[in-house]
Amino acid sequence: MRNLPFVLAAGLMSAAFAQQEAILPASSYFTNTGTSTLTWRTTAFRFQMVYDTTHFTNQGVTGPITISRLRFRPGSGVVNAGGSVYGTVNVQLSSCPLDYTAMSTAFATNRGGDNATCFTGSVTTLPAAGTTPNTYIIDIALTTPFVYDPTLGLDLCVEVDATAPVPNTVPTMATTNVLAQGVRRNSAATTGATTGALSTFGSELLIDFTGPGGYTSWGRSGNTVQGVGCYTTARSFYESFPGTEPVSSNDLSNKTVTMIQNGNGGYDVVTTPGATVVPPTGTGLAMLDDSESAAQLLPFTFDYPGGSTTSVVVGSNGYINLNGATNGSLVLGGTPMATTLLNGQIVTTLVGRHILAASLQDLEPDGALNVDNVFANVDPNNPNIFLITWQNVNCWHATTQPTPARSTFQIALIDGGVADTVEFRYQTLVNDSSNLSGEAATGFSLGSGSVNPGSSDLTAGVISTGVPEQAGLTMTSTAPLIGSTLTHTVSNIPGTALISARLLGFIPVPGVDLGPLAPGCKQWIDSTTAASELIFTNPTGTANLAIPYIPGLLGAVLYAQGASLVPGVNTLGLLTTNGNTLTVGNSN
């Protein structure tokens, strides 16, 4: 067995030093303490920022670095569509001959002898997502990288001048407004200014560089789960589409998802190209944001895995409730949409709501206008089909969107006697709401904390669900933080397991099925290069790894998976867990 701490420490250091970043000031990883309209302005400008050397040395920089990229972000929570163009932008960098506390109002005085023009060209602002911290909207790859050595004792001077943007819709930019935090600004409202006004509102700036030290990913830790362990059986299914506001992430437009009941007590699900959305008839349901309709009577009894019904309750947020009367909209926000679907959660109550979700996300019908709304009616061409249609419905946005993208999709309940089916029909589908940054989920669940089958790619092939529901071998992880112990927990280990292990390494494998020797079990990590730690307990076992407090480890990525040797469970006698992708950070 490999020496786990040694192997991983070496690999983490190698991964961390492959690409370095540093945030300036060093205290602004996760939020901003101020904002300013006098940095990247809606008019022409020139500014200088002088950053103290400690912002580099505190982030592990112990020698000369080569700065290759600058990124600026707006204040937290600000949403902006981007697209403003600064026609001419000049960027100069130098080692400032003055300490940041003694910065001059004369631009030339703050420039060092190594002053260099590192970029000249146009810059187009990127969208601001409204997160905390916000996304970076000014992104400049330097055409002439700049070499800077903070150990020589001279602060870094960053100078930018630019013509007025078109259109002039640049948002308020994030700054740090405490002089003691080691940054100061000198700024003016013209590109050719020779003097400016001093301020403590210094820009928060992310730099890319090569050389010793630095952070990646703003020091945040992360854990992404891939797939599920074998052998998981679930009646539910779903595909989770990540929140990438303001960009839609789903791939279901102009497609049809068909659900056919199978002999295993679940659905066989298949997605096909093309969609015929039958135009709704009658009056809409006049739904508002986060609302549910009264019960809508069906012209037939609709059967589905786990129940049957003669009415449905329609949720404005892209779903229908197959059991029970209106008792409050599904709770959106705070937990992943897939979790909400599996729980059927209302306010704080975990209930067995049977949900068909064409697109569970925060949608906003137009209410009393009742035009861009939700409709429920019998198919005018077939009395054995009941249609619920979201017609030209907008996603909810925290701020007004001048021309929001809209969705038109439909749930078709089709009476087939003893074999009722469902179709999700998508003319256009957008997920870009401000709630969870636009996260959405499509699927079916009976609620009450149903077994989680993991997200499936609906367009990749047939998905089959069924009973009895059971959770397979599962691995969870604590946050991978520097200066802490990373703990993995493997659960649902069979009592007949001989031994279990946690594997950690740096080379992922994209969910390769191990059949026919272990059909349905998947490999998520390159086991030939992974380090292992054995687990001797069941049904739950843990494995630990001490991550040293080394700032250079921040942003390093490692991959993890668990496995158990269980004689007779399959030909190979092996069960595997879901995979974990872990990003080392210094905060959750």
Cβ pair 50, 157 in contact under 8 A:
yes
Decide if pLDDT at 220 tops 70: no
Token output for 255: 């497609």
Decide if pLDDT at 218 tops 70: no
Cα separation, 521 vs 393, in Å, equals 40
Cα separation, 294 vs 271, in Å, equals 30
Residue showing tokens 């508002």: 288
What's the pLDDT tens digit per position in 29-53?
666 778 899 999 999 999 999 999 9
Cα separation, 416 vs 28, in Å, equals 60
User: Average pLDDT for residues 512-541, to the nearest whole number?
Assistant: 91
Identify which has the larger pLDDT, 418 or 522. 522
Cβ pair 355, 319 in contact under 8 A:
yes
Output Rg (C-alpha) for the chain, integer angstroms.
28
Cα separation, 290 vs 560, in Å, equals 38
Of 328, 412, 339, 330, give the one whose Cα is nearest residue 363: 330
Q: Strands (DSSP E) along 149-210, which ranges?
A: 156-162, 165-166, 173-176, 183-188, 197-199, 202-203, 205-210
User: Average pLDDT for residues 559-579, to the nearest whole number?
Assistant: 95
User: What pLDDT band is residue 18 in, cutting at 50, 70 and 90?
Assistant: very low
Of 544, 540, 545, 580, give the one whose Cα is nearest residue 564: 540
Question: What's the confidence (pLDDT) of residue 17?
Answer: 47
To 10 degrees, the CA torsion angle through 80, 205, 481, 559?
Answer: 70
What's the pLDDT tens digit per position in 335-362?
788 888 888 654 444 467 899 999 999 9
Cα separation, 539 vs 543, in Å, equals 14
DSSP string, 332-346: -SSS-HHHHHHHTEE
Question: What's the confidence (pLDDT) of residue 447?
Answer: 85
Cα separation, 265 vs 465, in Å, equals 8
Least confident of 2-6, 47-51, 287-291, 485-489: 2-6
Question: What's the confidence (pLDDT) of residue 422?
Answer: 98
Name residues whose C-beta falls within 8 Å of residue 337's C-beta, 6 or more positions apart in sequence: 240, 360, 361, 436, 439, 440, 441
Most confident of 17-21, 286-290, 552-556: 286-290
Decide if pLDDT at 122 tops 70: yes
Identify which has the larger pLDDT, 29 or 232. 232
Decide if pLDDT at 13 tops 80: no
**CB half-sphere exposure, 95, CA atoms < 13 A:** 14
Identify which has the larger pLDDT, 218 or 106. 106
Question: What's the confidence (pLDDT) of residue 435?
Answer: 85
